Amino acid sequence: MIKMKEPRRPWEVFHMDLGTGLPPGVDRGYNACLVIVDRFSKTPIFLPCHKDDTAKDTALLIWNRVISCTGIFTNTISDRDPEFTSALWTNFHQLFGTKLSFSTAYHPQIDGLAERMIQTLEEMVRRFCAYGLKFKDFDWFTHDWRTLLPALELAYKTSIHTVVFHTIFFTRLKLIVPHNSSKSSLQADLHSNFHPK
């Protein structure tokens, strides 16, 4: 078994993988989600994308939406999908002086964080999103999984994590976020306040 050196700070090492088990999104036809997970704090980032995005598309998504918020990492761990194995990724990591590590078929646990987060995301989407894209609730809001991502990310970050035994926000910021489990549906519906009819 390959032993990974554990990071000493948030976003020093992150795992990434592409979740493709989602229905097509209404807006821009998103049909996949790039899932990034910080190895230190277990913080996820969900980025809607397309199954056929190129390595350049994926690198730009990470540059624009991850590195600008987290800073420069030292190591990225992914499987051997074409989005992550191209010469562009090698150049990307050489530019920053960072390392790109791949999981293998014999050691999938190395990339297990992203894989497990994709399973959790797909389960959350199934619970809160109607798969019939024409379905509308009483507010006439179409249940498009892409618009739920910020609320799902917040709900995950404010729940007690089974590995670190407190919330992700507490792990990262030592911040105690008020959480009322009797109003958990409110967390999943937060997006409706920011997306008026």
The ranges assigned to domains in the chain are 13-194
Confidence of residue 37 (pLDDT cuts 50, 70, 90): very high
> Residue 144's closest CA among 51, 53, 45, 30?
30
What is the reported pLDDT for 90?
A: 82
DSSP character at residue 26: S
Q: CB of 39 within 8 A of CB of 6?
A: yes
* Exposure letters 125-134 (e unless 16+ CB within 10 A, then b): beebbeeeee
What is the reported pLDDT for 66?
A: 92
- Quick: pLDDT tens for 152-165: 898 888 888 777 77
Residue written as token pair 């729940």: 159
Annotation: CATH topology of 13-194: Nucleotidyltransferase; domain 5 (3.30.420)
User: Is the model's pTM score more than 0.75?
Assistant: yes
Question: What gap in Å lies between CA 15 and CA 34, rounded to an integer?
Answer: 10
Bridge partner list, 77: 15, 101
